[in-house]
Amino acid sequence: MKLWRDRLLLLCALISINALSVSGQDSDVEAVRPNGVSGPVRKAQPVDSISDSTDEVSRPAASPVRKASVAKSTSGRSRKTRAKAKRTPASTPASIEYTSDGIPKTGAASVIVVDANTGQTLYEKNADQTRAPASTQKLLTALIIAERGFLDRPVTVQQIDTMAEPVKLNIKPGDTYQRIDLLRALLVKSPNDVARCLARDNAGSVEAFAEVMNRRARELGAVNSHFVNPNGLPMPGQYSTARDLSIIARTAYANSTIRSIVCLPQLVFRYANGRTRELENTNKVLKRLPYCNGMKTGYTEAAGHCLISSGSRGGRDIIVVVLGDSKAGVWRDSSALLSWGLWM
């Protein structure tokens, strides 16, 4: 009788735990709300669970039934299970620290958070420090191409366009593409040869296009920047600031063509010979946070890891610029600041 009574109690406990689990899943949780911000939030993966080491989403926790079966196992097996869980990086995500005002702390060299609609600065750290912008400056390249229009016009690749290591799409001299197809590839996968091809097609040469970039930057009010090439590869005299890049990003965000591209998680690119290749967006925040809708990554040894990210929620649009961050920190910091800006 005692054995049957114990089994019955265990069964009741399992049913109760399962009911609580289902109830919790149906409720409106606050998993991604930044510290210091009240109110209900939509369900999403916590911002501090983004890891740079993999493109896959962290595995969910084991179900209550599985926990019960582990509890029934031998003590030796339980110790092995716990030790294995400790060694799994996904089980110990890096946590976000906040200031007394509820603003996420970041390890980036330069940061700015702005309202994309009004231009109001919500938070900044060393926003006027001149730094190498890496591929984030391709947003300006794309903006100029998009503003020029005639995106259905053909572009024929020249030999000089292909001289752009290390990240290339490997377009070949003599191949012909529509501008819009190259523009999409530029913003999703960030190939340097595509940037050179579009720049040369627009202005006649990379050098002439750099003059166009500097002129457009000054028109926008990004006066503390100077560009030498269209792709962000290190060059003497090429620099920008987080504030200037946020100004450029705001204009790019308002451009419907660019907005329709930077939100794409992947893209199928068709080469001139008919071969296709799926291009995956380099922006990991876009893939992890449902309210992120762009914009552009960047990395060189001189610049560190950089990201311009954008997001929208309830009529509020935020742009975050993070420059000079670590490999893992750039995703964590950008995610935390974007969430904070949208919920503040």
**What are 221-258's pLDDT values in tens digits?**
999 999 999 999 999 999 999 999 999 999 999 999 99
pTM for the predicted model, two decimal places: 0.74
pLDDT at 109: 98
The question of whether 190 is a catalytic residue gets the answer: yes
Rounded mean pLDDT, 122-127: 97
Rounded mean pLDDT, 46-53: 37
The overall average pLDDT reported for the chain is: 80
SS3 143: helix
Q: Say yes or no to pLDDT of 316 above 60.
A: yes
Q: Say yes or no to pLDDT of 23 above 50.
A: no
Rounded mean pLDDT, 288-296: 97
- The catalytic position among 51, 110, 138, 225 is 138
Q: Say yes or no to pLDDT of 340 above 90.
A: yes
**What are 129-180's pLDDT values in tens digits?**
999 999 999 999 999 999 999 999 999 999 999 998 788 999 999 999 999 9
Enter the DSSP assignment of 314: T
**What are 175-191's pLDDT values in tens digits?**
999 999 999 999 999 99
The question of whether 105 is a catalytic residue gets the answer: no
pLDDT tier at 4, thresholds 50, 70, 90: low
Instruction: Considering only CA atoms, give the Rg of the chain.
Output: 24
The question of whether 67 is a catalytic residue gets the answer: no
State residue 296 phi and psi, 5-degree precision: -150, 135
Q: Is 35 exposed, middle or buried (0-12, 13-18, 19+ CB in 10 A)?
A: middle
Structure tokens at 36: 């210091």
> Would you say 303 and 321 are in contact if contact means Cβ atoms under 8 Å apart?
no
- The catalytic position among 51, 110, 189, 190 is 190
Distance CA 95, CA 24 (A): 23
**What are 192-206's pLDDT values in tens digits?**
999 999 999 999 999
Q: How far is CA 182 from CA 6, 179, 192, 196, 292, in A?
A: 68, 5, 11, 11, 23
Q: Say yes or no to pLDDT of 41 above 90.
A: no
Q: Say yes or no to pLDDT of 46 above 80.
A: no
Distance CA 293, CA 283 (A): 10
Q: Which residues contact 49 (CB under 8 A, 6 or more apart)?
A: 58, 90, 93
Q: What length is written for the chain?
A: 344
pLDDT at 77: 43
What share of the chain has pLDDT > 90, as a percent? Answer: 69
Task: Report the sign of the C-alpha dihedral through residues 247, 287, 146, 139, in that order.
Answer: positive
Distance CA 133, CA 2 (A): 71
Ramachandran region of residue 188, left (φ > 0), alpha (ψ -120 to 50) or beta?
alpha
Nearest Cα residue to 211 out of 187, 190, 227, 197: 227
- The catalytic position among 135, 309, 312, 334 is 135
Taking the CA atoms of residue 126, residue 286, residue 295 and residue 47 in that order, the dihedral angle to the nearest 10 degrees is -10
> Would you say 114 and 319 are in contact if contact means Cβ atoms under 8 Å apart?
yes
Q: Say yes or no to pLDDT of 10 above 80.
A: no
pLDDT tier at 96, thresholds 50, 70, 90: confident
Partnered with residue 240 across adjacent β-strands are: 131
State residue 63 phi and psi, 5-degree precision: -70, 160
Query: E strands within the chain?
Result: 110-115, 121-125, 154-156, 176-178, 266-270, 276-280, 292-300, 304-313, 316-325
Our separate counts of H helices and E strands in the chain read 11, 9
Structure tokens at 205: 């040469």
Q: Say yes or no to pLDDT of 53 above 90.
A: no
Distance in Å from the first CA to the final CA of the chain: 59
Q: Which residues contact 61 (CB under 8 A, 6 or more apart)?
A: none
pLDDT at 92: 31
pLDDT tier at 95, thresholds 50, 70, 90: confident
